Chains A and B, each alone.
Chain A
Amino acid sequence: MAVPVLELRNVNKSFGPIEVLNDISLKVNAGEVLCLLGDNGAGKSTLIKTLAGVHKPTSGEIFMDGEKVIFERPKDAADRGIATVHQFGGTFPLMSIGRSFFVGVEPTKRIGPFTIFDRKTANATAVKAVQEFGITRIDDGDRLIGGLSGGERQSLAIARAVHFGARVLILDEPTAALGVKQASHVLRIVNEAKKRGLAVIFITHQVMHALAVGDHFAVLIRGKLAANFMKGEKSREEITDLMAGGEDMAELEAQIGGGSEELHSPAHVRASDAE
């Protein structure tokens, strides 16, 4: 079997006395989508921040290509090819596509003693990169990020990560704020990234989206790895039950008195739980 691109072995993370991650072991291979599922507060954000070098694990080890790595800062993880794309994609709404694409790694040319930001190259490269992912509506690198739709922003952010040689793509709830159509665009791009041989870690609490692209699933509950299974091993209902903390969704629904056919998102369950 191939050596996993990224592997966690017995990773723990606590903030003072509060244990957030407890003995997490995970692997993700190239060309594979790992879906990280979990309710709010399950430790998903802490886990991806640990992978991205924002937090250092309290104990446990991280391996890349079988080699032990220690990330002191986010840049270390980025240099190793770990790229995180956040819920709202581009975070600079008032910057142009070309400028924000190259933040921190601006293409330059020299005219005499002056170093010049090469706007033409920046725009052309950014537009080409995102069009290769099938978003052909983006054709003007001078457009502001804030003028793009949520799905376009996500796509641009993913294209950016791939362009800069990302090997592991961490997507933090990319579809959470999107409509059905926009979300399907993003899922298509996730598939495209997978086809190009990237290891993708896809964080979501929408089981439908996870099932659409995932090869491998991990469910986090209160900082512990509650389940770790491959595609086809569990049904949608089973996964939802797991995410709701191992309780039976049907039972919960009966308690609420709704008993509706539609799939409840865990957030709803939690809210009604608290009542």
Chain B
Amino acid sequence: MSNLSKGSTAPGTSLGRLARSPETGSFIGMIAVYVFFAALGGAVFRGGPGFSSFLNMASEVGIIALPVGLLMIAGELDISVGSVVPASSLTVAIISGHYGAPDIVGILCGLGVGILVGYVNGLLVTRTAIPSLIITIGTMFGVMGLTLGLTILIAGSTGVFIVPGPVTTALLGQSIGGMFQVTIFWWVAFIAVIYYVLHVSPKGNWIFAIGGDRESARNAGIPTQRLTIQLYMLSGFAAAFVGVSQVVAFKSAQVAAGQSFIFNSIMCVVMGGVLLTGGRGSVIGIVFGTLTFAIVNQGIFFTSFTPDVGSIIIGALLLGAVLMNDTFRQMALSYSTKKK
């Protein structure tokens, strides 16, 4: 909201506005975590290697976390991203690697797989009364099984190799300075687009309204079903995009990859201050949450702790984030009443 609130005529003080923004809590969390690992991780963590390691990780989770966050603000979950990542990777590897078609064909098909899975998710969620958690777990297993079965049927193994062309590599799999993956730039592009959708365009208002009360939103004339399907297609597309960039970077695709994205994306979103039941959240918050997650996840390797400690910290952070977000939300709600 920062660039919008500049033109504000609202008499609310900056403290009130701060408490009202869902990203305040996640920003504090991110700074705390960075200071902690900067102190313990030493100069290496504070330098290029540290930055690149957590930015690389953040960019991959972050691309998926953004649309998953939009869905969560709209009151829905998407578990299927975990199987869309390997499904799109293998689609690219099979079409452009195994069959040797041009890279662009494989990439478009890979992205198409994600959009298709998202469309099916959206259709099932809007046409049935089954909770989206169950539906997307179902489609996740379905897609996982199909990916495994078809890969073995076509390629005869669970891993497929690909030699991407120079343009493809430059766009999707390049490392800058040998450290910073090009996906970081794609993440920034995703942030810009999703920020526009949620906070600048009028559609963002619809997403908040759907998450607040679907029935009232529908009565207000918002095409809730179409919007929900579009949001699922967006998250399918984002997951497929990560799958495509992984296969280009690693030059191979594995059936088993991608499961970690399910919980990681949800954790980034929740740490970013998005209300699990919908209706509240911000893109900047999700970005902070993603960075927090990535800093802990990678920072732990720069310290003398065993990596297991990292999981404990992430678990504690998640609980802390939810508690803190609740507090900030209460402040946001009660702030105005105090003013009377």
Contacts and interface: CB of A to CB of B under 8 A. Distances in A.
Interface of A: 52, 74-75, 78, 84, 91-95, 99-100, 102-106, 108, 114-117, 119-120, 123-124, 137, 139-144, 146-149
Interface of B: 4, 7-12, 17, 20, 196, 200-202, 204-206, 208-209, 212-213, 216-222, 275, 279-280, 329, 332-337, 340
Contact of A99 (B20, B205, B335, B340): B205
A103 B279 contact: no
A114 B221 contact: no
B20 to A, nearest CB: 7
Contacts of B200: 114, 116-117
B8 A103 contact: no
A236 to B, nearest CB: 34
A94 B10 contact: no
Contacts of B212: 91-95, 100
A194 B216 CA distance: 25
A114 B196 contact: yes
A104 B222 CA distance: 5
B10, B209, B280, B335: which has the most chain A beta carbons within 10 Å? B10
Contacts of A102: 205
B336 A148 contact: yes
Nearest first, the 4 A-B pairs at minimum CB distance are A92-B212, A104-B220, A106-B202, A147-B336
A214 to B, nearest CB: 26
Contacts of B4: 119
Contacts of B336: 140, 143-144, 147-148
A115, A141, A144: which has the most chain B beta carbons within 10 Å? A144
A232 to B, nearest CB: 36
Contacts of A105: 220-221
A140 B200 CA distance: 20
B284 to A, nearest CB: 16
A123 B334 contact: no
B333 A139 contact: no
A114 B202 CA distance: 11
A60 to B, nearest CB: 23
26 contacts: A52-B219, A74-B218, A78-B219, A78-B221, A84-B219, A91-B213, A92-B213, A94-B212, A95-B205, A95-B279, A100-B209, A103-B206, A103-B216, A105-B220, A115-B202, A117-B201, A117-B205, A120-B8, A120-B9, A141-B10, A142-B8, A142-B20, A144-B20, A147-B333, A147-B334, A147-B337
Contacts of A100: 209, 212
Contacts of B335: 143, 147
A50 B208 CA distance: 28
A96 to B, nearest CB: 8
A124 B9 CA distance: 9
A189 B206 CA distance: 28
B11 to A, nearest CB: 6
A97 to B, nearest CB: 9
Nearest to B221: A104
Nearest to A74: B219
Given A94-B212, A94-B329, A95-B212, A140 B12 contact: yes
A104 B215 CA distance: 13
B333 A93 contact: yes
B97 to A, nearest CB: 38
Nearest to A137: B340
A117 B340 contact: no
Contacts of A95: 205, 208-209, 212, 279
B220 A103 contact: yes
B221 A75 contact: yes
A103 B333 contact: no
Contacts of A140: 10-12, 336
Contact of B280 (A52, A94, A106, A141): A94
Nearest to B17: A142
A82 to B, nearest CB: 11
A85 to B, nearest CB: 11
Nearest to B280: A94
Contact of B333 (A117, A141, A146): A146
Contacts of A123: 9-10
Contacts of A149: 337
A57 to B, nearest CB: 19
Nearest to B278: A94
A18 to B, nearest CB: 22
A103 B10 contact: no
A91 B201 contact: no
B219 A92 contact: no
B13 to A, nearest CB: 10
A140 B221 CA distance: 26
Contacts of A78: 219, 221
Contacts of A142: 8, 10, 12, 17, 20
A167 B206 CA distance: 25
A84 to B, nearest CB: 8
A92 B12 contact: no
A127 to B, nearest CB: 9
B217 A104 contact: yes
A108 B221 contact: no
Contact of A94 (B196, B220, B275): B275
A139 B201 CA distance: 24
B253 to A, nearest CB: 36
Given A94-B212, A94-B280, A95-B209, A115 B201 contact: yes
